[in-house]
Amino acid sequence: MPHAFDPQLPVKVLEVKNSPVPAEYFLARTMDGLYVPYVMRVPDGDGPFPFIFLAYGNGGVGFEWLEDRIERFSFIMDELLAAGYACAWGRYRAEVELGYANGGTLRVDVRQGMQLMNRAPLEFEDEVSIIENVKMDPRIDSERCGHVGVSHAGEMLFKIASHYKGIVKAGVACEPANHEFLALNTDSSVKINPVSGLRDIEEMVMSNPAYVRTRIDEEVATGRIAKIDIPMLVMGRDADPLQGIFRVSYELLKEAGKEVEWVSFDHPLHGYIFPVKSESGTIEVDDLQKSAINGVISYLDRYLK
């Protein structure tokens, strides 16, 4: 069946202030035929270029979220562009509470000539669809794609690496909130929201790796870890209440013989590798953030260049 539009043509292209590299907005078709947006910037010059997918936190919203990333979080993109990488922010559907834990592996069949699925695709599978769409762009080297995810998006990297082979060749998980991936049994610091009936994990404290070990289903977690076959940099944040989860995520990879490295920084900003523009219009980035970002790019260079 012909496409209603060419997915390799942007739906809009906007200039980026103080940069010769525009922001190109695309729509990627997801596994169930719906579409999700992403915004990409590609270095000037001869490609194909290695590509980095950037992701932060939970999903939802849409184009306006991407426009905000271009406006207020331009620093990380500019640094990647200067290092010779194409890069994109993507929007994916909202997280489903325990959807990964309860839904199982996505299985696809045919009914009446159309798709039949055992569950809806989840947000990390929207990332897979976006990256696969990016790989069709002739400016991109499809064999040199990486993923940098912060917080929930760090967990999404673990899920992609465990369930979808060959999507990315290397990844950086900064402060990966791997509650579901590690099959974490939460404690009394987690409450139930009386309005929604869903768990409120915003005040959860899991800073001690030894304590986290007692709360996870290690058999389930190690089974998921065993399927990961890409090199990964796991980044912690010293004073983060979930530092124990970040560290155990690294430890399980290391114990499984995976190619993994660990670094941790003492910084007040959750997601410190994505510096933010202040209300005055200036990027608020300090020497520690610059060092961390340089480390991320150096790590990616080893596997994608």
> Is 5 among the domain residues?
no
> Is 3 among the domain residues?
no
> Is 166 among the domain residues?
yes
Q: How far is CA 237 from CA 87, 96, 109, 233, 302, in A?
A: 24, 26, 43, 13, 23
> Is 2 among the domain residues?
no
How large is the C-alpha radius of gyration of the chain?
19
What is the distance between the alpha carbons of residues 179 and 4, in angstroms, rounded to a whole number? 39
> Is 239 among the domain residues?
yes
> Is 80 among the domain residues?
yes
> Is 4 among the domain residues?
no
Instruction: Give me the CATH number covering residue 23.
Output: 3.40.50.1820
List the domain range (segments joined by +) for residue 74.
12-304
> Is 97 among the domain residues?
yes
| C-beta of residue 91 within 8 angstroms of C-beta of residue 66 | yes
Two tokens, residue 92: 């994916």
| C-beta of residue 265 within 8 angstroms of C-beta of residue 238 | yes
Note down pLDDT in tens along the chain; length 305 residues: 555 677 788 999 999 988 999 999 999 999 999 999 999 999 999 889 999 999 999 999 999 999 999 999 999 999 999 999 999 999 999 999 999 999 999 999 999 999 999 999 999 999 999 999 999 999 999 999 999 999 999 999 999 999 999 999 999 999 999 999 999 998 888 889 989 988 888 889 999 999 999 999 999 999 999 999 999 999 999 999 999 999 999 999 999 999 999 999 999 999 999 999 988 888 899 999 999 999 999 999 999 99
Q: What are phi and psi of 114, to 5 degrees?
A: -125, 175
Q: How many domains does the chain have?
A: 1
Eight-state DSSP code of residue 230: S
Closest CA to 96 of 66, 126, 72: 126
What is the distance between the alpha carbons of residues 1 and 165, in angstroms, rounded to a whole number? 27
